Amino acid sequence: MEILDTLKEVIGLVGVAIIVWGALLTLFRLIRLEFRRLKHQVIFHHREALRHSFGSYLLLALEFIIAADIIASFTHPTLEEVAFLGGIVLIRTVISYFLEKEIALYSSSEDKEE
């Protein structure tokens, strides 16, 4: 069981690291875009692309965090823990669904513009 606990922690930390990495990249890119905006350049499409790029990092991280939660349910299989996991997975699945839908919508609108 210690191995599963360690594995759960490592996978959860990978998910958190992906969020932090995506947030830092997004922040630096946003700052560069804002400097371009100050030079009177239109950055709307770039900012939208940046937003969707960050969304993809969040989606990837959510998958890792859900995996960690599933492993946690094996290490602590109480009814309360399983119900809690079910709620978390449901919420994260809904968030993932809408983020994926928004990213797909943005991608298809970019294809039409080209």
What pLDDT sits at residue 30? 93
Half-sphere exposure of 95 (CA within 13 A, CB side): 17
What pLDDT sits at residue 102? 76
CA distances from 73 to 11, 62, 90 (A): 14, 16, 15
* Between 111 and 2, the higher pLDDT residue: 2
**Three-class DSSP category at 28:** helix
* Average of per-residue pLDDT values in the chain: 83
Give pTM, 2 decimals: 0.72
Model confidence over 2-31: pLDDT tens digits?
A: 888 889 999 999 999 999 999 999 999 999
CA atoms of 99 and 58, how far apart (whole Å): 9
Model confidence over 73-86: pLDDT tens digits?
A: 777 777 877 787 78
Residue among 40, 46, 2, 10 nearest 26 (CA)? 46
40: left (phi over 0), alpha (psi -120 to 50) or beta: left
Q: How many domains does the chain have?
A: 1
pLDDT-derived band of residue 96, with 50, 70 and 90 as boundaries? confident
Domain hosting residue 64, numbered range: 2-113
What pLDDT sits at residue 104? 75
